[in-house]
Structure 1
Amino acid sequence: GVPGTATYYALIMTVYTWVAKGAWFALGYPYDFIVTPVWLPSAMLLDLVYWATKKN
């Protein structure tokens, strides 16, 4: 893989969490918002794994 990939992923997840929390608060705690975006980090992880494997 790529050196610092875990750090890079952690940064993405931190940013994603803050953005998601901000939007959730702004929208008034919608229940759907908790369920729907769960696939986004999974897609990011898959993309990151693919990217890391391709670079190797």
Structure 2
Amino acid sequence: TLSQSLMLAVGAAYYLTFTGVPGTATYYALIMTVYTWIAKGAWFSLGYPYSFIVVPVWIPSAILMDLAYWATKRNKHMLIL
């Protein structure tokens, strides 16, 4: 679908920007796709209409979840910050 293709592109570009390792871009895009499902579900549960969710306003939410994950992967206390 268009959404998955978008997340593949966003995930790959995002990963390459921050790591410079192209071999894991597809794996990273899969992670971002899962985060996207979570972010969309969160937006939908908050009562936003579906048309609002189709527009990729949830991408920052997915990226924030990812940053929180990687920040806490090494140091669990970072979640407090």
**TM-score, normalised on structure 2?**
0.36
**TM-score, normalised on structure 1?**
0.48
